[in-house]
Amino acid sequence: MTLSWLGVDTGGTFTDFVFFNGESIKIHKVLSTPSAPEKAILQGIRELGLTAKKLRLIHGSTVATNAVLEGKGVRTAYITNTGFADVLQIGRQARAELYNLQPQIKPALIPSDLCLEVDTRLSAEGVLTKPLSQNDLQRIGQQIDQLKPQAVAINLLFSFLDDAQEKQIASVIADDIFVSRSSDVLAEYKEYERGMTTCLNAYVGPLMQGYLQRLEKAAQGAAVSVMQSAGGTISAQHAGQHAVHLLLSGPAGGLKGAQYVAGLSGFKHLLSFDMGGTSTDVALIDEDISLTSEAQIGDYPVAVPMVDMHTIGAGGGSIARVDAGGMLLVGPESAGADPGPACYGQGGRQATVTDANLVLGRLQPAAFLGGDMSLDVAAARTAVGLIANQLGMGVEQTAEGIIQLANEHMVRALRVMSVQRGIDPAEFVLASFGGAGGLHVCALAEALEVKRAIVPIHAGVLSALGMLVAAPSRELSRTITQLLSVSDVAQMKQYFLALEQKALEDMRDELAGKKPTTLYSLDLRYKGQSFTLNISCAIDDLDFAQIAQKFNQKHKQRYGHALNIPVELVNIRVSVRGEMPPFKLPAISNTDSADLPADQVTLYGVAGKVNVYRRAEMYSEQSIAGPALIIEKVSTTYVAKDWLCRVDNWGNLILDANR
């Protein structure tokens, strides 16, 4: 049976599609439908002329993320040990405003009346000092019946050493209630982070399950998978139970796409920014995509492995306004897909970054979405004009100010992921993608003193393309706290193999009998530290002295020093990855075609006419000098003055500073 593959990324403004039939690809965009994301997906399938039969759909979803950020998860109960019901509310006792003596108390994720306690205790050594009684189990069952939650999160102390008590509690909960056990979700120490991650999994799990069931029913016949936050896929049947692993689903797809496409051009060290309609995601790819287990979504820690990125509210739909002091502000509020920027003609009245780019001439109104959507220049000028009147400036000057301020927000985010970590951005290639990224790439590169940038082919839908190059995967971990020097090699191998076996059992259907790749690593720290660094290792050659040396080197690179004190093992990690899908990006023609531009336009602040090129008509090794515009169906690239643009064999735009 011949299969076709469809990568889908649901964003805040647009839903992106990349279709691959085994030989060629087709791209598409539709406006998102936030209230029912599956509607936009089905619309895109219809407009692409596809049928669900024989279609493998890999999806990046924002359902879980939006539910957390908007506080719209399901009614969830929390069960923990006696005396620990308020751990989630106390947290780390960190204060967002250090000198505010009367801070606004934010509502807890789980209200106190839904936090239950059981009188059982496991010691730090894994010894059961207080067993669960039948009375405790019966009482918990009755309380759950009375509270009528849709989901239950169970988080007992040291359950990562022995999960028997959590399983006992789960056994008395009705089958129609979603149950999330901390020993299954995150078998690591730190009861606050483990508890919050377990609660988030319960809080959004039923929503994710319901959404995926609706999608599978509507796209009957399609095999549906979902992108996980760590950059691998998971089948729709398992995704709902692992909903907390989907919180950075779309952005992870973008990084996979950037890694794949830039890798074809020989670039393995990337500083990436994904600028969409609502936000910008910034990350570092140093040969491989970096993961972190210290991420946050909104106000909540999420300790499962996720792509290591920094997100800010700066996108094409970011709203510009003037504050009470007369200062221009841009974002983080966004016009989203409905009503969208003023130029979309859907009722939006507030000026956005997209409106500013249109006013400056950098967006061509008749070429947006390949001509499928015409932009309203008059509406954009009216919206920006309202801001200009408040500032006492011209419309074009104000539009330029909006762009400069949005750029500064993104530069600051790029420095967080590079300079603040002891990394010189000039040693990396700036990779720009997302529907709005190409309009800002040269300005950001100049601000960071980066000499080379890449705008990948299909940059406007790169997250959807990344879905097609992601392999099925599982990321599992377990806390084992001990000095590295006294660790037993044979015992450590057993721990690793046990985690690997658990992942393989969970992935049996997704692997389809094919041999996976397994990566092993350790979370290490100096004795007495609170935070760890992850060090990869080979299970067949566990040389703890060499691993400690690698840790010292990484610590010195990250923090500027190494210490002559014992190294402590905290967690072991296993990453099991299946076979990559058979996606292959077609090379573009290397036959010279006419170098003449498709059009010439006037841009504010640029002397003379500016050439406009259609990216689909550009050929391999073609070179153009800025200033110039390169338009395509899903994005526009602005090649600034003093920049040279070369098209490589894959259609990527390689930008080099010519100064």
Q: How confident is the model over 155-188, as pLDDT tens digits?
A: 999 999 999 999 999 999 999 999 999 999 999 9
Q: How confident is the model over 20-72, as pLDDT tens digits?
A: 988 888 988 888 888 888 899 999 999 998 887 888 999 998 888 878 877 88
* The two structure tokens encoding residue 484: 């590295």
User: What pLDDT is attached to residue 372?
Assistant: 66
Residues of the chain with pLDDT under 50: 1
Domain 4-68+209-249, CATH number (from 3.30.420.40, 1.10.3720.10, 3.40.50.620, 3.40.50.300): 3.30.420.40
- Assess contact for 433 and 272: CB atoms under 8 A: yes
**CA–CA dist 131, 161 (Å, integer):** 15
Length of the chain, in residues: 659
The domain segmentation of the chain, as residue ranges, is: 4-68+209-249, 73-201, 318-405, 473-577
Q: What are phi and psi of 292, to 5 degrees?
A: -140, 150
User: What pLDDT is attached to residue 66?
Assistant: 79
**CA–CA dist 549, 200 (Å, integer):** 37
H-helix or E-strand containing 200? helix 191-218
Phi-psi region of 330 (alpha: psi -120 to 50; beta: other; left: phi over 0): beta
Domain 73-201, CATH number (from 1.10.20, 3.10.350, 1.20.950, 3.40.50): 3.40.50
**CA–CA dist 181, 174 (Å, integer):** 15
Task: Show Cβ contacts of residue 48 under 8 Å, excluding neighbours closer than 6 positions.
Answer: 6, 17, 19, 26, 28
CA 325 from centre of chain: 35
Amino acid type, 652 = N
b/e for 123-133, b at 16 or more Cβ within 10 A?
A: eeeeeeeeebe
User: What pLDDT is attached to residue 1?
Assistant: 44
User: What pLDDT is attached to residue 592?
Assistant: 62
The DSSP letter of residue 375 is: -
User: What pLDDT is attached to residue 369?
Assistant: 66
Q: Which residue in 405, 404, 385, 402 sits closest to 393, CA to CA?
A: 385
Adjacent-strand bridge partners of 116: 79
Using DSSP's 3-state secondary structure scheme, residue 315 falls into: coil
SS3 of 143-172:
HHHHHCCCEEEECCCCCCCCCHHHHHHHHC
User: What pLDDT is attached to residue 306?
Assistant: 92
